[in-house]
Amino acid sequence: MTPILIIFTVSITLIAYVVLKPKWIEKQRDKVRALPFPKAWREILQRNMPFFYSMPVDLQLQLKKHIQVFLAEKKFTGFKGLEITDEIKVTIAAQACLLILNRKTSYYPKLKYIYVYPAAFITAHEGKDAAGVLHNQQRVLSGESWELGKVVLSWQDSKQGAKNFSDGHNVVIHEFAHQLDQETGAANGAPFLKHKNRHCWSHVLSKEFENLQFQARHGEDSLLDYYGATNPAEFFAVASEAFFERPAEFLKNYPQLYKQLEGFYHVNPAIW
């Protein structure tokens, strides 16, 4: 075989792989979606996810199908002696999949692994102080999203967030909002948007981000957690928590921001 023929053959093979792989993946997902949703999983939703039954029936069905695909594709690993159970997987997957309803989804394509600790965990990060000196800084976290295909969660906080779905705080929604943000690169508060929506999104979120920073500096009451004033990425994640958990208040206080998130997430939780 001549070098030119080898190059041609390899090129055709690569093109076929690129074209056919997404179709093969979707075919496998269709098979998973066609499977009955396990009775034990329904009981977990009933026990741990009271908000599930307030959702429209069509979204309930869609969410269950998403849970099946999500659990077929993502690997869960327990740390600090935590044994991964169906309760842990279904409870986390149900909250994560709320963010991908009503639209074509690749199920967080960069995400491969979900690490779960029994409760809040300590992480060490290298950072600079005001003088520019590097220090190892330890933080206690309930969740963390990595660009390199990993989400880290506290099971205690993940379960509490599912059961108390009205306080505006949800670690799973927060970290998976970061995953959506990170699909376009480093998290910056600008997840994948259609070109025509980018300007309006940037204008509204920048304005509300600055408002939250002002409220945080002056100790003013805010529906949004002050943590969202840290940077635009955290603002998007914090706003996503409140959008799903306290939608009526969110709509009343931030109508323009609500409209942007409704357009992005393709759901209107204020009417559930």
Closest among 192, 194, 165 to 179, alpha carbons compared: 192
pLDDT of residue 24: 95
Q: How confident is the model at residue 168 (pLDDT cuts 50, 70, 90)?
A: very high
Q: Which of 15-24, 137-146, 166-175, 191-200 has the lowest mean pLDDT?
A: 15-24
Q: Where are the alpha helices (DSSP H) in 74-194?
A: 86-97, 155-163, 171-182
Q: Is the pLDDT of residue 134 over 60?
A: yes
228, 237 contact by CB (below 8 A): yes
In this structure, what are the phi and psi dihedrals at residue 31, rounded to the nearest 5 degrees? -65, -40
Q: How confident is the model at residue 21 (pLDDT cuts 50, 70, 90)?
A: confident
Nearest 5 degrees, angle CA 172-CA 178-CA 180? 105
Architecture of domain 188-272: 3-Layer(aba) Sandwich (3.40)
- Burial class of residue 83 in the structure, from the number of CB atoms within 10 Å of its CB (0-12 exposed, 13-18 middle, 19+ buried): exposed
Cα–Cα distance list, 158 to 178, 194, 263 (Å) = 16, 31, 26
Q: What is the pTM of this model?
A: 0.88
Q: How confident is the model at residue 193 (pLDDT cuts 50, 70, 90)?
A: confident
